[in-house]
Amino acid sequence: MKKIILDKYLCVRCGQCIGACPARLFDRPTLNDYPETIENADEFCISCHHCLAVCPVHALSIDGIDGTMCLDFVRESFPRFEHIATLARMRRSIRRYADKPLEKQVIEQLLDVVRWAPSAKNKLPVKWLVVNNRNKVLELEELVVQWLRSQPQLSNVREVNEPNGIFRGAPCVVVAYTDATALWPAMDTAIAVETLDLCATAMRLGACWAGYFIRASQNDPTINRWLGLSETEIVHGGLMLGYIGDEAYQRVPYRPELELRWI
């Protein structure tokens, strides 16, 4: 059970926590009163920590976590729309990687950002596994190819029958998985992996979703065993990562207008 504590000695009664809580767990009889948690608030709290992030005086804590443990942000470094739009447009699925290992600290720096990817009810169900060794990537690739070849409708796919067809020569594969009981596993994983993808692009790294790998690992228990996952853990995401090789895009590929309706 969570423990939400409001320190009335610190609280300035600004009421920000009341408005910020998605579950409406704070209330007060009049504007002059201190906010109080509603009955059973601990049970309904999803630990999103929005209340801690809005409180100007660090008057709140949840399970011992308080506002001082939240990151400060530098308003001036907030990116402009054009920067994010450029990032989204220039992100590409990279399929040619430099023959160069990716430093562990670079991957850690990227993965750290993914902690802030949204997840349904803030359940944060995604777990990560990094295969950051070219020989191990090749071993994993071989397992994926074996499974694909065993599938009549997939055995003739070009990627299955060409060298480096699955992981495209990437030195690193990031695997995202959840427990089978997770609330919205595929959705949460997709958001987190795409966050990673965009951050990798911002670092001028190459990345590409590894769909064949995801499919194979969801169907062939040998792969999950190789990854060291339990029978109740399911892979929902995989991203190749590495320094970009001989890719030299001159422009952004054409994409059709959205199919869009307004109501």
- The binding site for ligand FMN (CB under 6 A) comprises 92-93, 95, 168, 208-212
Report the distance separating Cα 28 and Cα 20, nearest Å: 14
213-231 exposure pattern, b = at least 16 Cβ within 10 A, e = fewer: bbbbbeebeebbebbebee
Mention every residue, 6+ apart, whose C-beta is less than 8 A from residue 16. 51, 54, 55, 56
Q: What is the dihedral of CA 100, 106, 107, 111, to 10 degrees?
A: -160
Whole-number minimum distance, CB 236 to ligand FMN, in Å?
10
**Which single residue brings its beta carbon nearest to ligand FMN?**
211
Angle at 226 between CA 174 and CA 159, to 5 degrees: 60
Residues 47/122, Cβ–Cβ less than 8 Å: yes
Q: Which is nearer to ligand FMN, 66 or 197 (CB)?
A: 197
Structure tokens at 1: 């059970």
Mention every residue, 6+ apart, whose C-beta is less than 8 A from residue 52. 58, 60, 61, 62, 65, 66, 67, 69, 70
Q: Which is nearer to ligand FMN, 251 or 261 (CB)?
A: 251
Whole-number minimum distance, CB 252 to ligand FMN, in Å?
9
Q: Which is nearer to ligand FMN, 4 or 205 (CB)?
A: 205
Residues 39/47, Cβ–Cβ less than 8 Å: no
Q: Which is nearer to ligand FMN, 196 or 208 (CB)?
A: 208
Whole-number minimum distance, CB 95 to ligand FMN, in Å?
5
Q: Which is nearer to ligand FMN, 92 or 121 (CB)?
A: 92
Residues 4/65, Cβ–Cβ less than 8 Å: no
Whole-number minimum distance, CB 196 to ligand FMN, in Å?
13
Whole-number minimum distance, CB 227 to ligand FMN, in Å?
17
Q: Which is nearer to ligand FMN, 95 or 121 (CB)?
A: 95
Q: Which is nearer to ligand FMN, 4 or 193 (CB)?
A: 193
Structure tokens at 62: 């949840």
Whole-number minimum distance, CB 64 to ligand FMN, in Å?
38
Whole-number minimum distance, CB 245 to ligand FMN, in Å?
14
Mention every residue, 6+ apart, whose C-beta is less than 8 A from residue 174. 107, 111, 128, 129, 130, 131, 193, 196, 237, 238, 239, 241
